[in-house]
Amino acid sequence: MLLTPVAGDPLVNKNIFQKIAYARSHGVSFISFSTNGILLSRGENAQKIIDLGVDHVNVSTPGFDRDYYYRMFRVDKVDQVIDGLEKLAEYKRSKGAANRSDVVVGVHVFGTVDEALALPGWRRLRPYFDEGVLRLPGFAGVEALMDAYRAAGGEAKGNAPRMEAFVDNWSGVITDEMLPSGMRVKRVDHGIDGPPCERLLTDVAVLPSGKVRVCSCRYLRTLEDELVIGDLNAERFADVLFGPKHRTLIKEVAGGKVPEVCGSCTLYSPMVLGAGEARWLRSVAEAHGTEAVGFHPVAACDHEARATVLLELARHARADGDPLAAWRYLNRALGQTDVSVR
């Protein structure tokens, strides 16, 4: 269960730890949230995160340089973030190997790596990264981060390697002109003719109102937009997931009707079939002929459900009822060029 599917910081909620305990007591096995880290040092927040066994904590921060931090967040809170991370790391370390919490710090680093690591914040926190108490996404410690940028060719050119951050555009709201030096907006690399975004099948959020919305990552003017597929005040979740509204949305997107919030989103992740999914989809296409293929209210990560959804959307949106044509469309659109139907 992700407690911050769209935006916000759960640590501003004075009842957040009661909610986490409630979720645990009702069988929720995985709990995750993101935070900017400003409130980690407040009271017993750090200790409660560890004691309740929050499985994954993502701390997102502009970095540990005071000037850049202020330019990005418009508040002078970098010391609180460093203090909170240190407090969290120390308590996690004290619990030893039995602790289950994975703490990942997504941090922007500006200038050269060596300049960044000379900052007091990096000097204080580096031991925790090197020990694995805190993690850098994609790197096994700070030295691995430095090696990656050295390998990019900076030193070979006689220059210290410099780090450049690419950031999400929040569906077109953020532009390059708004960002400081060293940061650029990710480019949008999809169009209406590409395969649908995988988040349509694998990512749903329950909003505070009880509405269920596909894609928990981005919104524009409101949360309750065209990506809403149901309402738990009136429906069961099992009936909403892959239910009529969900199926209609998937087919419309596959047919080129892209929701406004999706049109310029830089988090687009095209649907890709794994080998098992490709084999299953082929067998379904061959076995069912022109018969309808139903949907099943199962977890979105289940590959059979995903393949069933993909088959139906392709058949009805692009393939005019021909199952082999549907398969060929998916084979082409999803990049599975090594698999074919004869």
Question: Which tens digits make up the pLDDT trace of 81-131?
Answer: 999 999 999 999 999 877 788 898 887 766 666 777 788 998 999 999 988
pLDDT for 161? 47
pLDDT band of residue 317 (cuts 50, 70, 90) is very low
Work out whether strand 228-231 and strand 211-214 pair parallel, antiparallel, or are unpaired. antiparallel
Summarize pLDDT for 32-47 with one digit per residue, the tens: 999 999 999 999 999 9
Q: State what percent of residues in the chain have pLDDT above 90.
A: 23
Q: State what percent of residues in the chain have pLDDT above 70.
A: 66
> How far apart are the C-alpha atoms of 155 and 142, rounded to whole Å?
17
pLDDT for 136? 84
C-alpha pair distances (Å), 160 with each of 146, 147, 151, 247, 306: 10, 12, 11, 51, 46
Q: Report the predicted TM-score, pTM, of the whole model to 2 decimal places.
A: 0.69
> How far apart are the C-alpha atoms of 88 and 160, rounded to whole Å?
32
pLDDT for 308? 62
Lowest-confidence pick of 53-62, 139-148, 164-173, 248-257? 164-173
Tell me the average pLDDT across 322-326.
54
pLDDT band of residue 184 (cuts 50, 70, 90) is confident
**One-letter-per-residue 3-state SS of the chain:** CECCCCCCCHHHCCCHHHHHHHHHHCCCCCCEEEECCCCCCCCCHHHHHHHCCCCEEEEEECCCCHHHHHHHHCCCCHHHHHHHHHHHHHHHHHHHHHCCCEEEEEECCCCEHHHHHCCHHHHHHHHHHHHCCCEECCECCHHHHHHHHHHCCCHHHCCCCECCEEECCCCCCCCHHHCCCCEEECCCCCCCCCCCECHHHHCEEECCCCEEEECCCCCCCCCCCCCEEEECCCCCHHHHCCCHHHHHHHHHHHCCCCCHHHHCCCCCCECCCCHHHHHHHHHHHHHHCCCCCCCCCCCCCCHHHHHHHHHHHHHHHCCCCCHHHHHHHHHHHCCCCCCCCC
Residue 194 has pLDDT above 50, yes or no: yes
pLDDT for 45? 96
Tell me the average pLDDT across 262-280.
69
Work out whether strand 183-185 and strand 165-167 pair parallel, antiparallel, or are unpaired. parallel
pLDDT for 279? 62
Residue 240 has pLDDT above 90, yes or no: no
pLDDT for 268? 79
More confident residue, 299 or 334: 334
Lowest-confidence pick of 87-101, 150-164, 214-228? 150-164
pLDDT band of residue 72 (cuts 50, 70, 90) is confident
More confident residue, 259 or 173: 259
